[in-house]
Amino acid sequence: MKVGIIGLPEVGKTSLFNALTRSHAATHAYGSHKEELNLGSVVVPDARFDFAVQVCNPKKATPATLEVSDGGARIEIEEKREKFGTDFFSGVRNMDALALVLRAFRSPVLPEPPGGIDPCRDAVKVNEELLLADLAVIETRLDRLEKNRLMKRMTSSEAVEQQTLEKIRAHLEALKPVRTLELTADEEKSVRSFAFVSGKPLILVANIGEDDLAGGSAETQGLRAYAVENHLPLIELCAKVEMECSEMEPEEEREFLQAMGISEPARDRLIRAAYDALGYISFFTVGSDEVRAWTIRRGTNALGAAEKIHTEIARTFIRAEVIPFEDFQAAGGWDEARHAGKMRLEGKEYVVKDGDIVHIRNSKG
């Protein structure tokens, strides 16, 4: 599960990366544009997991994680205009979701972009580039498929692919991203290899100034409307403050946030938003040896969850013992919830719910 941090130059991408991953990747001076590829892993914050660890006191605790990258999708400035090169799109295609960082802060050091601070304008600009990139890929492929059709060399799978690509092209030409287009299972399968960049889940991140943390930033009003109109999650944060917080000890960080009237780090909200945007949920296995959060797609059944744990467990699946987290929490543990009659026996087709505590019974043990 990879989340790529993207955005125009000088918007705070690396500061956000450092905040999320608690890293110390170098940030560069204005105009240098010497971005290295930064990779890191972040823990998905989950109070349910923390509670299970506290109750079970296991030898090992394994939370859910996401991989985050910064610098893999470069945008260069040429003659005061942004240039989205092939490196940008190749980097984006490798990601499962995108976090688009948008400048909504003013700085005495960093010059304002032409036209001033306008995160909504910048969001529209980047999204248009994503649409155009997908259109270019589709046009090239459709030309080849049409030649095959005229030469009567088109296969049945290519015919489905052609129809699907024409459907997607019409959607893109209407300035709508691929992620908003409903495709059948066969259609989706026929174009999966293209990894359309406008088909990636997208999270808008408004990087506001430290002075705007209390009352909000006036520069983000248009962006908020844009996010609602396009059904996109929007996180407002100050990357500089978040980075500074990530370098503090936990108790020091809590005191700092309380002093600023902030209930939790914005980076936690961003991580959860990315997790949700990918369509993932967590189920848990608990015990004295290990408490572990397992990541699965929403809608996965018990057999799929068993396969996530181990293919052999799935192959020898008998049943799933399930306790909803709320019952686990109320009872104070697995054994207590089971003795209270809260454990259910479920078959292979049971759809695992977010937060379920699951124990797979199989013929091997």
Q: Hey, where are the domains in the chain?
A: 2-44+64-114+200-277, 129-198, 299-362
pLDDT at residue number 35 = 58
Q: Do domains 2-44+64-114+200-277 and 299-362 have the same CATH topology?
A: no
pLDDT at residue number 261 = 72
Residue with tokens 């490798």, as numbered in its chain = 94
pLDDT at residue number 137 = 93
Angle among Cα 185, 187, 189 to the nearest 5 degrees reads: 70
* Alpha carbon distance 294, 302 (integer Å): 12
Give 325-336 pLDDT, tens digit per residue: 999 999 999 999
* Alpha carbon distance 110, 88 (integer Å): 23
Buried b / exposed e over 238-266, threshold 16 CB at 10 Å, is bbbbbbbbbeeeeeeeeeebeeeebeebb
Q: Alpha carbon 193 to chain centroid distance?
A: 20
| Positions of the chain with pLDDT under 70 | 27-35, 72-83, 85-87, 215-216, 365
Q: What is the DSSP letter of 316?
A: T
Q: What is the DSSP letter of 64?
A: -
pLDDT at residue number 30 = 47
For domain 299-362, say whether CATH 2.60.40.420 is its number: no
pLDDT at residue number 256 = 84
Q: What is the CATH topology of the domain spanning 129-198?
A: DNA polymerase; domain 1 (1.10.150)
**Half-sphere CA count of 295, side-chain side, radius 13 A:** 16
Assigned CATH for 2-44+64-114+200-277? 3.40.50.300
Beta-carbon neighbour count of residue 189 at 10 Å?
14
Cα torsion 278, 11, 180, 224: sign: positive
